[in-house]
Structure 1
Amino acid sequence: MHDGDALPRWMDLLLLPLINLTLAMAVAGLVVWGVGQDPWQVLTLLVQGAFGSRSGIGYTLYYATTFVFTGLAVAVAVHGGLFNIGAEGQALMGGLGAGLVALWWSDALPAPLMLPLMVLAAMAFGAAWAAVPGALQAWRGSHVVITTIMFNFIASALLAWLMVNVLKEPGNMTVESRAFADSALMPGVHVLLGALGVDWPATPLNLSLLLAVAAAVLVWLYLWKSGAGYALRTVGFSPSAALYGGIAPAGGIVSAMALSGALAGLVGVNEIAGVHGRLLLDFVAGAGFAGIAVALIGRNHPLGVWAAALLFGALYQGGAEIAFEVPGFSRDMVFMLQGLIVLFAGALSHLAAPWLLRLLRMARPREVAHG
């Protein structure tokens, strides 16, 4: 399409992603039918498993909370002109920071001090880990895609070494730290609702959900309502134009990556403080890579990221229910569906755009012609 043929913004941000999602679901349905399963039954069980009960909703929101953090991390980097593949490693480092603070001070500090310290430590560790690849690109020309991929492996190896040789609980056969004191445990949503008189089942969903909501709002305010956010987006749109306007591209690159890493580091709060109550080896479990798809589907906007995170949370929770209820349906089929969504939301994201533009011209030819 030519520049003058662009879709209206509402169609590009809302209608096109919905069409891409529908195409992905249709292709997935054909695959499910091809392996001898009933696509309608599978879809019904997926929706019911994710939203058909309070427990399912709790698990869906728990997964979505993690995906919001990694999706926002990728989205912020994209606005800075960078493709951050390292949210997985940055989340690991965020968990390490939160875990170290909990192991050192949770026995002495109360929860009102302990939990904010864990949040700050998770953000600081994630930001520091991401700022290094940003600095390497800004001042040494190293491509951030390559360096962040490498830093994922380094983060995993570093955490494994620390867990095995330094932080592992003595006498425990499992590679994990000792349990945190109660002050380092993020309260569950069911506890809060129970105090308000609402009966809610116990799930991993915790108050990190509110942190994810606040992160999305603050990212929106930062990117579109602040001078620093405007400078970051300017660097991402055109480094030469930013330099001409008095904005240092190198500083914008490093700050974009640092903020991206800080957001990814918050995954550690949701998992380490909110669920496990101790430091583990692989608590991220691929959420950093899923954040790439979440950001793509959400068009790198905080509201879109939240919607896409809910979708992926539903796929994770609903997929577990399908694997349990439908004989012969493995969780690999759910991963296939996720891959199709990534394909249509990423590589084929504008597949339906020419047809939408043609329909728009037929419906309102004069308005489209005058742009």
Structure 2
Amino acid sequence: MLQIFFRFLSLGLISFGGPAAHIAYFRQTFVRDLAWLDDKHYAGLVSLSQFLPGPGSSQVGFAIGYHRGGLAGALAAFAGFTLPSFSLLFLLVVSSGVWLEYPMTQGIIHGLKLLAVVVVADAVWIMSRQFCKRKPAKLLMVVGCVAILLQPGIGVQFALLIFAAVAGKQWLADVDSTVEETRTPIGLNYLWLGFFVLMLIASSVVVSSGSDRGISGLAQLFAHFFQVGSMVFGGGHVVLPLLQSSVGDGIGNDQFLTGYALAQAVPGPMFSLAAFLGGELWQAQPLTGAIIATLAIFLPGFLLMLVALESWHQLSNIVQIAGAVAGVNACVVGFLLAALYQPIFISSVLSATDMILVAAGFGLLKLFKPHILMMVALFICAGAASAA
């Protein structure tokens, strides 16, 4: 277990660049260097992570740990990979009262917010080209974007995801597929599935009841983040609009975007943003809030991986399920497009100079594909210069 933990810890310290980069690091380390699994098995785990809601790259790491050391190995992989980003974001939130007052710090954070505009715009660009190739998918993207801009809220998003799944099953299932669907019963792990369903129902009850029934604040915190983790398909930046709808009002747009901007500058999974938000929302005991929020947002995706790890080949052959997932993915692109405008763009781009920096950064990213650390350094310098 210690070997698994330290292997993933070493990756958690250097894994900048988002889910795609994380998956590349994992392949280099665990397929090519250590030979813990072969390319075919690894490709299957990556496909499964895209098939289920949750933090995509962290789910792949969890599955590699499970393959190597069972459930204990999976937990060791999660702890190792997440610990660096969790620690950095927690330290940033507990010390923010000290360093946020300085003009230079505010300038740097503003620069990172502008970087967030560039990064999310790039994510929308890439995901729209990947998930919205067909007309029904483009329509679902537009519907998702317009609906969220008109009526923001996690309840609306949940209803749209259900609609997108139904529409995708009808419109986006590959009826011309030559893959023969399996007749063998699907070997799901129903124990973990039952636990996931019970947790989802309980979290829904807690969120809807709130303080009216004397439910503790920590239980509500856990429930909000668990629901977000249950609805995020694609991981990474896709978590942003759901978190904004669920907990953004509790801390305000400015602090929310500060956390998101800081999450761009640390290695590891984007879902570790929950550490910053949890500490900010539960200021009486920020470490408790950070731990609960982080565990809650990762838990649904890991439970669903345990449900399907042994049967992903069979699931991937069901064209109706693939169509439903395609519909959800297209709708999620719409959510991310709406979040790019509100709150990211309108809270970050405050002048013509800001717009120039965003346009230049987007062009630099698309044309030359620099490492994310170079982009972070450039926007930190630009933000610091604006405050000088």
Regarding TM over 0.5, the answer is no
TM-score (norm 1): 0.32
Q: Name the structure where helix makes up a greater proportion of residues.
A: 2
Work out which of the two has the higher radius of gyration on C-alpha atoms and give 1 or 2.
1
